[in-house]
Every structure is written in C-alpha cells, then in structure tokens.
Amino acid sequence: MPRLLRALRTRLASARRAGSRLFERALGIDTAGIVELAQLDAEGFEREGYEGSGWLDLRRMLRPGEVKPDDVFLDLGSGKGRVLMLAARYPFARVIGVELSERLNAIARRNLEAGRRRRRCKQVELITSDVLDYEIPDDATVVYMYNPFRGATFQVVIAKLIASVDRRPRTVRLIYLNPKEHDRLKATGRFRLERKAGRLRLRRSEAARSYIRLYALEAR
Ligand SMILES: C[S@@+](CC[C@H](N)C(=O)[O-])C[C@H]1O[C@@H](n2cnc3c(N)ncnc32)[C@H](O)[C@@H]1O
C-alpha cells in the first residue's frame, strides 16, 4: 500500500478513536479503547482482550420489534458493557453480562448507571466469572459474543448452550461478531445462519472483525 495512503488511514483511525473518547466523555461513559488482558492480570490460553462492539452492530442484527418481553439477553465476555447498555434499550425480561475481569465489570456497572434513563429492561445483571465456570440459564434466548474466546473454550460454551436448549426447548438466536470460530459452530450441525452483514472498516487489520452473523439454534 502506498505510504501516503497508509499514513492517511492511520490518521483517520486515531481521529476516530479520539472522537469516540470525546463523545463518550460528553455522555459520562467509558466503553472505548482496547484493553489487553495482560493489563488486567487476566491473560490466559484462548482468551481474547477487550474492545467494544460498534454502536450499530446489535441494531443491525436485532431489529426493534424482534424482541418479546420474555426474551433474555446474554453477552458472554461483556467487557465494559457497551452491548449491555444497547440491549437494555430493548424490552428484554433480563439482560445478563458475564465477564472475566472485575475491573472491566466495575466500569460496566458505572456505564449502565449513566445510561439508566434510556433503559426499557429493568433487570440487568453483571456476573464476574470465567465463562467456563458459568452455567447458561435455561431462559436465555439471545446470546451475544464478540470473539471473546477461542478453541476448546468456545467449544465447551457452545456445547453448554446446545445442552441448555435441548433441556428446555426454545429457539436461541446467537449473534457473533468477528466469528473466528464459525467452522466449529458449523461442525455441530445445529446452528443455521440467518443473517450476516459486513462492516465499514478503515484498516485492513480490521477486516476480520468486519463480519457479524446471526445464527438460530433450535431444540432437537
Ligand atoms: C472483544 S471483548 C467484547 C466486549 C463486549 N461484548 C462488546 O461487544 O462490546 C471480549 C471480552 O471477553 C472477555 N473474556 C475473554 N475470555 C473470557 C472468559 N474465559 N470468560 C469470560 N469473559 C472472557 C474479555 O475480558 C473481554 O472483555
């Protein structure tokens, strides 16, 4: 890539980051930026660090009117709670975030408090746990993941999700941003791809996270 174009892209990306920090400061929230798990003493095999989803990602996969009052939203690897804030604007019965780092969860708690007035869902729960120690609730119907973990960890979580749906028959919609483990989902033979969208990106390195997919999982 020509040097001028590369420099322009870098400038645009840093202007965008600065813009989003200013925008968030004005709203009294903090969901921007990238946090490596090493900075939180939480690094580990197959775990990915923090970066918030785009503000429009959830809306693109889940339109208003597609959530019923008995639906329950679960974000696995909820970080600073950006997606929880957005999900709480839908009429979910409950919104649950599961996050490895208590430091990120403390930030999420403050963010949710700052956005309280815009909530339609009254019950928002933040759980600090490794997803491997967490039991998926049998009423969860919309599960969100922004590439939080890989490999065997991902596989265990998906097996727990399938077991939950077979135990208490229902349809679960799985929204998966930067779906690096798409092949593992496909290999289960249980997830039907229902929607997908590309995302605008400024840098080639962002290409991988530029997909978001919605799958349906039904009981057997
Ligand atoms: C890319 S961030 C996504 C944050 C949020 N879901 C969003 O979309 O804005 C992934 C998050 O998963 C968390 N995570 C990674 N491994 C985890 C694990 N084993 N259990 C729970 N959370 C984990 C990280 O700490 C990080 O906050």
Band of the pLDDT at 198, cuts 50, 70, 90?
confident
Does residue 177 sit within a domain?
yes
Of 39, 63, 35, 15, residue with least CA distance to 175: 63
Does residue 212 sit within a domain?
yes
Residue nearest (by alpha carbon) to ligand 1 atom 27: 79
Helices and strands counted in the chain (H then E): 6, 9
Residues with CB under 6 A from ligand 1: 37, 47-48, 50-53, 75, 77-79, 82-83, 98-101, 104, 130-131, 146-149, 153
Domain count, the chain: 1
For residue range 62-103, list pLDDT tens digits in order: 998 999 999 999 999 999 999 999 999 999 999 999 999 999
| pLDDT surpassing 60 at residue 201 | no
For residue range 5-27, list pLDDT tens digits in order: 888 888 887 777 777 888 888 88
Does residue 94 sit within a domain?
yes
CATH code, domain with 56: 3.40.50.150
Does residue 14 sit within a domain?
no
Residue 115 corresponds to which tokens in the numbers above? 């956005």
Q: Is 29 left (phi over 0), alpha (psi -120 to 50) or beta?
A: beta
Atom of ligand 1 lying closest to residue 147 CA: 1
Q: What is the whole-number distance in angstroms between the Cα of residue 78 and the centre of ligand 1?
A: 5
The residue range of the domain holding 131 is 33-217
Residue nearest (by alpha carbon) to ligand 1 atom 12: 77
Q: What is the whole-number distance in angstroms between the Cα of residue 80 and the centre of ligand 1?
A: 9
- pLDDT at residue 69, rounded to an integer: 96
The 124-128 sheet, strands edge to edge: 124-128, 94-99, 72-76, 142-146, 172-177, 211-217, 191-198
User: Tokens 């922004």 — which residue?
Assistant: 146
For residue range 106-158, list pLDDT tens digits in order: 999 999 999 888 899 999 999 999 999 999 999 999 999 999 999 999 999 99
Would the pTM of this model clear 0.85, i.e. be above it? yes
Of 146, 160, 177, 178, which is best to mutate to test ligand 1, by the most ligand atoms within 8 angstroms of its C-beta? 146
| pLDDT surpassing 80 at residue 166 | yes
